[in-house]
Structure 1
Amino acid sequence: MKTILIVDDEIHICTLLTTILTKEGYKVDHSVSGTMALKMIKEKSYDVIFCDYRLKDKEIDGSILSLRIREMSPATSIIVMTGYPDVRIAIQLIKQGIYDYVVKPLNASQAILLVQKALLHQAVLSKEQLPPAMHLTADPVSTYVSHRGQLSQFVYGNGNTSKELHTQIKLIAPTDYSVIILGETGTGKESVAQLIHSQSRRKDKPLVAIDCGSLSRELASSELFGHEKGAFTGAIQARIGAFQEADGGTLFLDEIGNLSYEVQTALLRTIQERVVRPVGSAREVHVDIRIIVASNEDLQQAVLQGRFRDDLYYRLNEFTINVPPLRERREDLPLFVSTFKQAVEDELERECGPLSDEVLAAFYNYPWPGNIRELKNVMRRICLLSTEKAPINMESLPEELHPVSRELAMSAIPGTEENLKNVTRQAEYQKILDVLQQVRFNKSQAARLMNIDRKTLYNKLHTLNILL
């Protein structure tokens, strides 16, 4: 039986959480004192500890207590609770190693989901506890049928970071848990969603993918829930929404953080009740779906900033998968390059030359802001330019992969008009990259920070050959 400790100086919170979690089959203890909690932890091990941030102990608060718990019991998942959310504190605590930082009061479903998620995360970290079918296979490449009906490949990689991602996918895929996939633009979040679906019990049912970033506030409800004929101007006929299209299967909502607060409210009710009410209709339609969402921004931070509903976040966050950026997977570059090169050769129906040592060095030194998607596009470009199996050299690479261009050391003669254009272009290129990295490659946020509209940003990305 899994054990849980509740530490809060408000006894009614201890009592409430104890009652909720005991009914779920957990062994639950509680303490109204941080000092007493430390004594309890010395005598007994706990799988999960809920800890209030503002304890009334004079010498110990939630931050200090969580540090001591980490020292005494590193395997324990610590969930810090607060009634006064602060992004800086949240970041500090997470860096210290706590599992989660949540806002009080918690309702029953939130508390239960937090515990389930923490225990599932522990299972991922302790691979020896996984059922035999969950362990890694030796093959770093998996084949699956995409939601577009095409045969596709997912390249896991051989590095430790990639193997961890593989383990998490194999663990969560057979369940019906809702999943949040986090990662920068181009890391392959949709491919992860497709792979989860292809390994689930719903694999023979539809996988419907919706890009929430492209949905306007006016049309989002119609796209998700459907509408009746005449429900609004332009609704010349009825249509079913994504929820009904995915009935029996999986609904993948990409860039969910871009949905308006009003649509988030409607989405929450639909997920909770598993019923859809099309726009302009009084009838409700029951749906049986699994929800997978993705975001290139930290949804926890969006919750703390009031941009994303906390109850929707907890409803969705039964399990989180973080897809690492390519710059953290450099040991996998040879496998990725080889796989993508073979794919392009199959597409072009001809062999391409080998990559020169200089090109491979440039690959290793480049930060890959567009991640896997950018690498795929670069491979398509250089293979297309390759002729008669001749080695692929630096001349075939896009400008941004040349170290000289990234350091603003242009080859043009100083003082000429061309050099001034290059410097201006490179400064704009670097500024856009800096802002994109600052907002974790969320293009909507980047456009707002640079005081330009989204269309202008897309034009500049195209002009400057920034592949995201």
Structure 2
Amino acid sequence: MIKPAFSNILIIDGDENISITLNNYLSEKGFKVWVESSAQNALSTIREKKIDLVITDFELSKYTGIEVLQKVKIINPAIQVIIVTAYAEIRLAVEALKKGAFDYVTKPLYPDEILDTINHAIEAKHEDADGQKPAKPKKRKPDQEYIKGPSYQSQLVEKHIDLIAPTDMSVIISGDTGTGKEYVARSIHNKSKRAKMPFVAVDCGALPIELASSELFGHVKGAFTGAVADRKGCFERANGGTLFLDEIGNLTYENQVQLLRALQEGLVHPVGGSKEIPVNVRVLVATNEDLKTLVDKNHFREDIYHRLNEFKIDLAPLRERNDDIEVFAAHFLKSANAKLNKEIDGFENEVLEKFKAYEWPGNLRELRNIIKRAVLICKDNKVTTSCLPPEITNVTSSNAHYGSVMINNTGSMSLKEITERAERGAIREVLKRTDYNKTKTAQLLQVDRKTLYNKMKALNIEDEG
């Protein structure tokens, strides 16, 4: 049943057919739906209406999905955002996740897949709302369990978890987006002496600068416009348990100073408050950046880095853990069967071969989404290649997609050649998708037009526009 507190959805898409289909489907499911074809009108709607969730296409006339996401979060950081993207834009969808999107779905759209993603957003929103009350331990769900892979990298991570969990040491968990950093943090918590106490996760990358202090340390009534009641911060909500700070490198200098005091003294100072509050929290942090590099660039305080770096766990990307793919695929298949009320029995061998040949820019999150969609459309008792997107079925072991390089047994390449081939492939792919629109291509690749033209010239990419 849809919870009344989460019933208002805004769809932003220039494709009228998609908008009408989603509007009709979600309205039938009990949601109140608004539809806008432009980002400008959508932002006005968000300011005027009580919107809980935004479903936005990545490719809009004047803004990208990431730009819409950032503007939405400025207006109201509590709004969940789901990005709709072509499969070729997975890397861009991953970037949106880093900046605070809840999740992404790929085209062609399936209403049931959209509904499942919305339900997850509902669950996450209500778990966050529960955090404003005295925290209590929640029953662990299957999707929150850490899955042990057979690869050397996964076995090493498991050993590190078993080693560090019984202690109260702080841990830095590093790895690309989608590699399972929060799952590792939950596993550490669940194996620790704090397991029966709260586990609170915070995405620092999604915290608006002006509200980060309030979210982390709380505020008192009247501390700022909109502070209509006292609110406990994440440190207080996690008291006695574990606080997981994802994308820790995004915190401002001021927040870092406050964080250091909380770590060293066990005290937090709510915004607008006159008293410091003692807390007993174990802190685990995650990053997809090199914190030491951020320290060297004066973007992250060295004293906090050393305070957090009591132990470090590095998660390898899925493309380097082929031995794990079958284990995770089986786990995600079981989960998708349960959610979608289906009984798919496994994968054809060719599907698993394609999985192992693909480079997985979105890592485990992408594998989960691919399998969920395959289960949704599968008409056989096993997942076949016909259920997979062409970006995966077209990949071979000697030919990775979108400019990635896999060297075959008959030759070798220098690092420069590998880098140039990867760049050439990526630029050509985005040029094709934008019909050789240089301005749009530069925006999607996050470079200026001059840099794009110089790259095209250096890599001998013909201008077909």
TM range (shorter): 0.5 to 0.7
Q: How many angstroms does 1:448 deviate by?
A: 9.7
RMSD: 3.1
The runs of 5 or more residues in structure 1 that have no matched partner are 1-144, 409-419, 436-445, 453-468
Query: C-alpha distance in 2, partners of 1:256/1:450?
Result: 25
Give the structure 2 partner of residue 406 of structure 1. Answer: 401
1:207 aligns with 2:199: yes
User: Equivalent residue for 2:230?
Assistant: 238
Stretch deviating more after TM superposition (148-157 or 320-329): 148-157
Match for 1:406: what amino acid? Answer: H
Aligned amino acid, residue 348 of structure 2: S
- Between the aligned partners of 1:371 and 1:267, the Cα distance in structure 2 is 30
Whether the aligned pair in 2 keeps the contact of 1:147 and 1:208 (CA below 8 Å) is no
Deviation for aligned residue 1:426: 8.2
Q: Distance in 1 between matches of 2:292 and 2:276?
A: 31
Q: Is the 8 A contact 1:274 1:288 kept in 2?
A: yes
Q: Which residue of 1 aligns with 2:432?
A: 424
Tell me if structure 2 keeps the 8 A contact 1:353–1:386.
no
AA paired with 2:388?
L
SS in 1 for 2:243: strand
Answer whether contact 1:353 1:387 (CA < 8 A) is retained: no
What secondary structure, in the 3-state scheme, does the structure 1 residue paired with 2:351 have? Answer: helix
Counterpart-to-counterpart distance in 2, 1:422 and 1:312:
39
Range moving further from structure 2, 183-192 or 379-388:
379-388
Cα separation, partners in 2 of 1:370 and 1:427, compared to 1, 3 Å: farther
Report the counterpart of residue 343 of structure 2 in structure 1.
351
Q: Supply the distance in 2 between the matched residues of 1:244 and 1:448 (Cα, whole angstroms).
A: 40
Q: Displacement, 1:230?
A: 1.0
Change (3 A) 1:262 1:449: farther
Residue 327 in structure 1 maps to residue 335 in structure 2: no
Alpha-carbon deviation of 1:370?
0.7
CA distance in 2, matches of 1:287, 1:255: 22
Q: In the superposition, relative to structure 1, how do residues 427 and 307 fare at CA in structure 2: closer, same or farther (>3 Å)?
A: farther
Distance 1:236 1:146, change over 3 A: closer
Matches within 5 A, 1:375-414: 375-389=367-381, 391-403=382-394, 406=401
Provide the secondary structure at the position in 2 that maps to 1:262. helix
**Aligned pairs for 1:218-229 within 5 A:** 218-229=210-221
Residue 264 (1) aligns with residue 264 (2): no
1:188 to 161, 180, 184: 180
Q: 2:304 corresponds to which residue?
A: 312
1:260-286 CA distances to partner (integer Å, 9 max, x unpaired)? 111111111111110011111110110
- For residue 348 of structure 1, report the CA deviation from its aligned partner: 2.5
Residues matched between the structures, number: 283
**8 Å CA contact retained: 2:205, 2:250:** yes
Structure 1 SS opposite 2:263:
helix
Which residue number in structure 2 is paired with residue 297 of structure 1? Answer: 289
Return the alpha-carbon distance in structure 2 between the equivalents of residues 266 and 196 of structure 1.
25
Change (3 A) 1:183 1:308: same
The normalised TM-score by structure 2 is 0.56
**Greater CA radius of gyration, 1 or 2?**
1
Task: Name the SS for the 1:186 alignment partner.
Answer: coil
Going from structure 1 to structure 2, the CA distance change for 1:360 and 1:183 (only over 3 Å counts) comes to same
Given that 2:359 and 2:401 are in contact with CA atoms closer than 8 Å, whether structure 1 keeps it comes out as: no
Please tell me whether residue 252 in structure 1 is matched to residue 244 in structure 2.
Answer: yes
Aligned mates of 1:344, 1:361 — CA distance in 2? 20
What TM-score do the two structures reach when normalised by structure 1? 0.56
In 2, the alpha carbon distance for the partners of 1:247 and 1:293 equals 16
Shift of 1:392: 2.8
1:275 is matched with which residue? Answer: 267
- 194 and 422 in structure 1: CA distance in 2 versus 1, 3 angstrom threshold: closer
Shift of 1:169: 0.3
Task: Tell me: CA distance 1:188–1:147, structure 2 relative to 1, closer, same or farther (3 Å).
Answer: farther
Alpha carbons 2:146, 2:186 under 8 Å: kept: no
Q: For 1:223 and 1:157, how far apart are their aligned partners in 2?
A: 35
3-state SS of the aligned residue for 1:334? helix
Q: Is residue 147–residue 194 contact of structure 1 (8 Å, CA) maintained in 2?
A: no
- Mapping 1:4-403, distance limit 5 Å: 149-151=140-142, 152-389=144-381, 391-403=382-394
Q: Provide the rounded CA distance (Å) in 2 between the counterparts of 1:206 and 1:323.
A: 24
Deviation at 1:447, TM superposition (A): 8.1
Q: Does the residue aligned with 2:149 lie in a helix, a strand or coil? A: coil
